[in-house]
Amino acid sequence: MTQNTSYNRANDRWICGNAGNGCPCVKGPDNKGNCGAQTQCTPVKRQDRWHCTRSINHGGSCQTGPSPDGHCCHIEPGCSPIPGYKQKKWIYLQVTALLVLIFLLLGLSPMHFEDFADPGPLAQPHAGITQCRNCHSSTASVEPFAVLKNAFKPINIAEHNQQCISCHAMGKHSINPHQLSPDNLAQSSLPIPQAHQQGIACASCHKEHQDQLLPNKQAQTDYCQACHEKPLYRFPDNHPEFIDYPIKQIKHIRFDHKDHIDRHFADEPEFAPAQCSSCHSIDKNGTPTVAGFADSCQSCHQKDVFSENLATGPKGFAVLSIPGLDIETLQANNIHIGQWPQWSEEPVNPVWSYLLPDTPEILSNQELLDLTGASPQQLKHIQTLALNLKQYLYKLSQDGSSETAQNWTLQLSQAELKNAINTWFPALESEIPLIDSGTPPPTVAISPQEEAQQTTTSKKNSDEEPFDFDDGDILDDDNEEESLDELFGDNDSLADDNEEDSLDDLFGDKSDAKNNKEANPLPQKAQPNPEQWMKQGGWYLQEFALYYRSTGHSDINLKQWLGKAPELFNEDSSGRCLKCHSIDDQLSSWKAQQRNSAAARLTSFDHAQHLNMVNIDNCQNCHTIPEHSNDLGFEPIKKQQCLDCHNEQTNLNQCSACHNYHLPWDSIDFSNKSRFEASTTTDGERLP
C-alpha cells in the first residue's frame, strides 16, 4: 500500500530513502537530510495509559500499542534520505558558484589577469603595443584592484584623451568638438549636447580592441547627428544649397575672374593666361593652389606694387608727419607750443594715435588750420598734442624710444630720423627742458625760407648722413633735360595735370592752402622730388612728413603696418596692397586659398579626384562665370552639380564624404616611443 505521506511534495528538500519501496517512514528526513525514522508514533499518556498516536494515513492506532514505559513498539527501519528536487538544485547552484569562484580567483590573479581580461586585439596601427599598461597607465600594473579603484573615479575626458594626443597631435583644443577653440565654438549657433559639455573623448568614436579603429561611414554620419540634427542628415534631401560656397571661404585675395576675363584679358591678350592651370594647380592633397605673385600677377601689377601708376596723392605712406596748425590763433590765445612749421598743411597722421595713445582726441584736421572758433579746452588739447609730439620726437631722436615707435620706424636710420626732426623743429633741443618743466616757450612760426633750405631726403636702409641732393649725380647727368623730367615727375599721372599746378605741388605750394598766407617764393635752385627719387621704395622726407614707399611685393614694413593698423590703409596706399589683399579676415593670411577658417578646413574637396572624372573636362564645368561680377567672379556651386554622383545609389551621400570631423593634422609624433618599447626585443629590433 502506498502511503500518502506529506514529504512526497516537491518542496521537501529530502525524501525518505524507503519511499522508493513504497514504504516511506512517517516522519521523513529533516531539512539537513538526516533520517528522521525512529518510531511510527510518539505515544501520549492519557490518565494512566499510553496511547498510540499513529496517524490514520499510516494505518491509525496500532493493535500492539505503546510499551508500558511509553515507547512506540514499531521501530522504523533507517534509511539514507534521497535529496529532493530543491536540494538537488541547491547543490547544483553551490557547485556552480564554487566553480565560478575558483575560475575568477585564478583569472584575477595578477599573473593571469592580462590574458584573462584580454578584450581583443588592437587595431593594426597599434599592433606594436603589447602591454596594457602602455596605454592604461593609471592601472600601472593592471591589477584587479587598480581597475576596481579606477571604476569609481570621476570621468576625466582630458586625461583620457591624453593617451591619444601624446602621439596624435590634435592642437590645443583636442577635447572640444572638431578641436575648435572656445571662441570658435562660441560663434557656433549649434548647441553642444549636455553629454559633451565637458568635451568629447577620442574613444567615443575610435573604439580600440575591436575590428575597426575608425567608425564606418554610416557610423560617422550617425555621430554627426549628435549635434547636427536632421536638417543635415542626408545630402540629397537635407543638405542646404551652397549659397556662397566656395566664394565666402576664398577671400584673402580679391580676384574678380569675370572682370579679368571680360575686360583685362580681352584688352591685353598678350598677358592673358592660356588656361586655368596657368595660375592654378592642384597640390598633392587635391587642393587647388594659386601661383604666386611673380608667376601670375606681376606682369600686370608690377606698377601697382611700386605705386607708379597712382594718378594722385603721395606714392609713399606717411608714417611721421607734423600736422599743420593755426599758429596765429594759438599765439593770440597765449597757447605756448614753441617753434612750429608755419606752412605745414599735413593732417594729424593717424599713426600718432598709436604712438601717443594718451593724447586727447582733438579737432578734425580741417579745423586745426583755422582755430579761430576753437574753445579754450580745445586749444588746450591742441597744445597737449603739440607738446607731446615734440617730446616724443625728441626722445625718438635720442634713443629710438619705445618698441611701438621702433615698429613704426623699421629700417629708418637714426641719422635720417634726426635730420627730419631738425628740419621740422630746429630748436627742439633747447625747447625740451622748458616743456618738461611745464613752461613751454611761446609759439613761434618757422619761416618758409628756413624750411625750404632744410628739406632733404633720406635713402632706404642708409646708416650714413642724409643724402645731399646738391652733391648728387642726378643733376650732373649729361642729359639734364631727361633728369629734370624724371625729377619733376614726368609720368602719365602728372602729364595730364596743369604744368603750373605740378610745379606748385613740387615746391609745396598747395592751391587749397588756408590761413591767407602769401604764396611761397620759388627756391633759387631746383630740388629733386624725393618721391620720384625713391622709385624703388624706402624712406624719404618730403616737406613735413617722413614717407615710406613700397620696395616691392611683400614689403616687410607695409605688411607689418597693415597687420597692426589696417584701417590706416586703403586701396591707393603705397604698394596698393589692399587692391588685391582683403582685410575682411584681419589679414589672417596674405596668401590665396589658405583655408584657415575652421569651417573651411572641416570640408574637404579633392579637386584632383573630381577633375579625373570623365564628365568633367575643365574647371568651368563647376565654376561658372556669373552674368554679374561678385567678389570672386564665380557663381556659387550648385547642389544639383553634386547630385549626379553624391546620391543614395552611389552611397556617397554621407556627411563624411565631404566633411572631416577633425581639423587637419599633419603628423603623428613618433617621438613618443615609450608605448612601443615593450614590443621591441632586447636588441632593439621591432617585433612583427
Partner 1 sequence: MTLKLSILLSLLTLLLLGSIQHWSKLQISDPSLINGWIFFTFLVLLCLYYLRKKLNVLPLGKMEHWLAFHLVCATGFVVTYSFHIGLTLPSGLFNFVLWGSNLTVIITGLAGLFLSKTLPLEIYQIGEKPVQEMIPALKNQLINDAENTLLGYLENHYSEPLHRIFNSSIHPFLLSSDSLLTALIDRHKTFKKLVSEIEDLEHFVGEAEQNILASLKQMVKRKHHLGKQARRQSILRHWLFLHTSSVVVLLVCIVLHIFAIYGFSMGGA
Among residues 42, 122, 181, 223, the one that binds partner 1 under rule CB under 8 A: 223
* In the complex, least distance from residue 297 CB atom to partner 1, rounded to whole angstroms: 45
Q: Which of 41, 73, 6 is nearest to 16 (CA)?
A: 6
Q: What cell was used for 167?
A: 602621439
Q: Are 340 and 386 in contact (CB under 8 A)?
A: yes
Residue 88 binding partner 1, by CB under 8 A: yes
Among residues 9, 263, 517, 673, the one that binds partner 1 under rule CB under 8 A: 9
* In the complex, least distance from residue 600 CB atom to partner 1, rounded to whole angstroms: 22
Quote the CA–CA distance of 129 and 676 in Å, as a whole number.
5
Among residues 34, 210, 334, 372, the one that binds partner 1 under rule CB under 8 A: 210
Residue 84 binding partner 1, by CB under 8 A: yes
Residue 221 vs residues 228, 233, 234, 517, 594: alpha-carbon distances, Å? 10, 7, 9, 77, 27
The residue type at 132: C
| Dihedral pair phi/psi, residue 39, rounded to 5° | -130, 165
* In the complex, least distance from residue 222 CB atom to partner 1, rounded to whole angstroms: 5
Q: Which positions from 330 through 389 interact with partner 1, judged by CB under 8 A?
A: none
Residue 103 binding partner 1, by CB under 8 A: yes
Among residues 102, 203, 519, 668, the one that binds partner 1 under rule CB under 8 A: 203
Listed ranges 114-122, 263-271, 453-461, 588-596: which one lies at the site for partner 1 (CB under 8 A): 114-122
Quote the CA–CA distance of 431 and 434 in Å, as a whole number.
5
Length of the chain counted residue by residue? 688
Closest to partner 1 by CB, 206 vs 280, is 206
Closest to partner 1 by CB, 372 vs 674, is 674
Residue 226 binding partner 1, by CB under 8 A: yes
Residue 264 binding partner 1, by CB under 8 A: no
Burial 244-261 (b: 16+ CB within 10 A, else e): ebbbebbbbbbbbbbebe
Residue 127 binding partner 1, by CB under 8 A: no
Burial 62-87 (b: 16+ CB within 10 A, else e): eeeebeeeeebebebeebebbebeeb
> What is the per-residue DSSP string for 623-642?
SPPPSS--SSSSPPPPHHHH
Listed ranges 16-24, 26-34, 422-430, 557-565: which one lies at the site for partner 1 (CB under 8 A): 16-24
Whole-angstrom Cα Rg for the chain = 48
Closest to partner 1 by CB, 11 vs 312, is 11
Binding mask 479-508 for partner 1 (x = CB under 8 A): ------------------------------
Residue 22 binding partner 1, by CB under 8 A: yes
Q: Which positions from 167 through 196 interact with partner 1, judged by CB under 8 A?
A: 193, 195-196
Question: What's the number of CA atoms in the CB half-sphere (13 Å) around residue 209?
Answer: 10
Residue 427 binding partner 1, by CB under 8 A: no
* In the complex, least distance from residue 57 CB atom to partner 1, rounded to whole angstroms: 14
Residue 93 binding partner 1, by CB under 8 A: yes
Quote the CA–CA distance of 269 and 232 in Å, as a whole number.
45
Q: What cell was used for 581?
A: 589683399
Burial class (CB in 10 A: 0-12, 13-18, 19+), 555: buried
Residue 119 binding partner 1, by CB under 8 A: yes
Residue 153 binding partner 1, by CB under 8 A: yes
Residue 156 binding partner 1, by CB under 8 A: yes
Residue 353 vs residues 131, 326, 427, 567, 624: alpha-carbon distances, Å? 63, 21, 25, 12, 46
Binding positions for partner 1, rule: CB under 8 A: 2, 8-10, 12, 15, 19-22, 24, 84-85, 88-89, 92-93, 96-97, 100, 103-104, 107, 115-121, 136-139, 146-156, 159-160, 162-163, 193, 195-196, 200, 203-205, 207, 209-211, 219, 222-223, 225-227
